[in-house]
Structure 1
């Protein structure tokens, strides 16, 4: 079974192909083909990278529209040195990461006209992402015709949030109009929770986990009985932890003050909070943690201290609602690669018996337990694989229909 995955972002398109035979493997397999389009390099151009058959190709293409660029990317599946199938019709099913499923979707679904219309309507909640996701769906329709397509929603894993965690303390009629805490990075949090259960040799339903997705965007999830019961991102991915260039949670009064006293427009404030805040805003150096750490300036030190303070506070709030802890999971770019962040974060929870093994922590661990033997809770580093999680959803939906 050949499963194609499209992961469309606001400025890039990632894709991969898995060739699955028989039952789902326990450990994530490598895709047989991977590709990426980057639209941020220069106006009117796009950089296309493809990896397959031991070959890596990179080219700059004229970019007329994203759908056309995606079609050009898909051609490399069945043409040239990166050819892995005879024809695009050999693809059995296609899975898409859809950022926002709103109140409508609590699990993955087969895509039809109703689903497409709902994704388009939910673009009012995710204007940078849902339209890009929809373009990917339509590009597949153009290139692969009637191949089955599956929508895997980034918000779905958090659909189990209890009302106390999802409702904002604002007029209730706003909630009835869709203003609530949705949570994001759900595909990653769900994958890492399942992977943690595998690594620990336990059933997920028996575990209490805090999963820490720390990349350019950052969020936490409290996982109990296999479900998300709390998370840090909310109505948008701007809420919660301090991030690379995003502020995370700030007093709404700050926004009102800037509009009233500073004459900032809504667009200016949106740009500042999303693109000029977080590590970049405090350090003045970069949104990349590695560059902030290496700069060794006073402002950089303050940025790191603030980042860790807010991360510790967020984990504390997750623990309060879990009522216990079996493991803390670190994932994504920072979570997987920064021994400094993992160490300083876990220091705050030594009073709970959480102890990190400094040697293991420094060893670039992936899918490993880095806690000390005496630790009362495990500390795991897991390589998040959203594409594989999407492929698994496609496989499950396909087999549930055929059984």
Structure 2
């Protein structure tokens, strides 16, 4: 049976999945899903079969996953033991940045890989690790079709006013523009909404992808019109450790008055801010909800405030609102955050049903709410697997 491997490489993690491609008439079937985190320090691998049974949940020797190539080797060892007869014909990769040109998945040729490497300055904490996973897979599977799936691609059809900054036009031509991210998640939610609520999919929808990385996307007819993330994955909502929207004057102040270097500012904005910086406690929403401290409550309040503010802004960009969809680790699991975001939003036509929300149902708005509120678990891996299958079908 022909299979595809999906890889999602982060700064210190590697998510992987083995999908059976079947006859191409239905979705690829996940057989193994797993993740190795804390690569290079205290690596730990967790993997499950399609039925949810655990294949692995244990630490790895540090030397076995000192880098992404080592982590991939450990993942492949597990897959080989569990599925020794798998025919791996395609590998799909999540690549955060596709630049202004890539609006669809692309086969990873040497030329495309070189082009993507030039985008590393636009996503310095993501792109190098994505490409490290690509290079490790190319070495492990030189004969497989390798496919890049871009987080920016879903947003490449924005109107110009949602794509630009008020800088001299030459910078736009150089690639300084609003790209938007989390596109694989939004792609999945758009397709899923078309299946379960086509009347909403065809209308004006805001999707809130809330997790350690967080953003929101306004769609019309399933296509991205505006996003809270812009040039980088720093903009918009506060996140686990990222600042979100920030007056650029603050960066100038940090450079001029605090004497901070570019590396120090980058570390501050990407790794020490957001929920972690505000609370002084944790970037994990579950821990903040449990904590009985003023700082934790204030961090949650700011997170909710920014979501509500962006909800209004995106509704204005869409010319109205028909549905709000929550997804991501926080969006799918936090009853409290969904409640706080929707509380008092009747003015926009949105009314939450607290009982449905507490039960985690798909539809969590009241029957009388003009704006439907849904909770839809996202699945970036299946989007990557579909792209790998489709590319394999095209190239044979």
TM-score after normalising by structure 2: 0.93
CA distance in 2, matches of 1:211, 1:112: 33
Question: Which is worse superposed, 101-110 or 339-348?
Answer: 339-348
Q: CA shift at 1:64, angstroms? A: 4.3
Matches within 5 A, 1:225-236: 225-236=221-232
1:123 maps to what in 2?
120
**Partner residue in 1 for 2:71:** 69
Deviation at 1:168, TM superposition (A): 0.6
Q: Distance in 2 between matches of 1:348 and 1:257?
A: 37
> Quick one: structure 1 residues 263 and 131, their matched pair in 2 at CA, closer, same or farther if it must change by over 3 Å?
closer
Distance 1:84 1:310, change over 3 A: same
Does structure 1 conserve the Cα–Cα contact (< 8 Å) formed by 2:123 and 2:233?
A: no
Deviation at 1:347, TM superposition (A): 2.1
Question: How far apart, CA to CA, are the structure 2 residues paired with 1:340 and 1:312?
Answer: 14
Equivalent residue for 2:366? 372
User: Which of 374, 378, 396 is the aligned partner of 1:384?
Assistant: 378
Deviation readout 1:231-269 (Å, 9 max, x if unpaired): 011111001011111111111111212222222222222
Contact 1:332–1:383 under 8 Å retained in 2: yes
Quick check: 1:180 aligned with 2:197?
Answer: no
Cα separation, partners in 2 of 1:384 and 1:106, compared to 1, 3 Å: same
The alignment yields a C-alpha RMSD, in angstroms, of 1.9
Aligned equivalents of 2:70 and 2:119: distance in 1? 24
Q: 1:209 to 1:24 in 2, by over 3 A?
A: farther
Unaligned runs of 5+ in 1: none
Q: Secondary structure at the match of 1:305?
A: helix
CA offsets 1:64-110 (integer angstroms, 9 cap, x no match): 4321331232122222xxx21425xx112111000100112011111
Structure-to-structure mapping, 1:322-337, within 5 angstroms: 322-337=318-333
Summarize the alignment of residues 106-255 of structure 1 with structure 2, pairs less than 5 Å apart.
Answer: 106-202=103-199, 204=201, 206-255=202-251
Question: 5+ unaligned residues in a row in structure 2: which ranges?
Answer: none
Q: Which residue pairs with 1:399 in the alignment?
A: 393
Q: What secondary structure is seen at the aligned counterpart in 2 of 1:373?
A: coil
- Is the contact made by 2:108 and 2:146 (CA closer than 8 Å) also made in structure 1? yes
How far 1:24 moved relative to its partner? 4.7
Task: Check if 1:60 corresponds to 2:60.
Answer: yes
Give TM-score scaled by structure 1 length: 0.91
**Any idea what SS the aligned residue of 2:193 has?**
helix
- Runs of 4+ aligned residues of structure 1 deviating over 6 Å after TM superposition are none
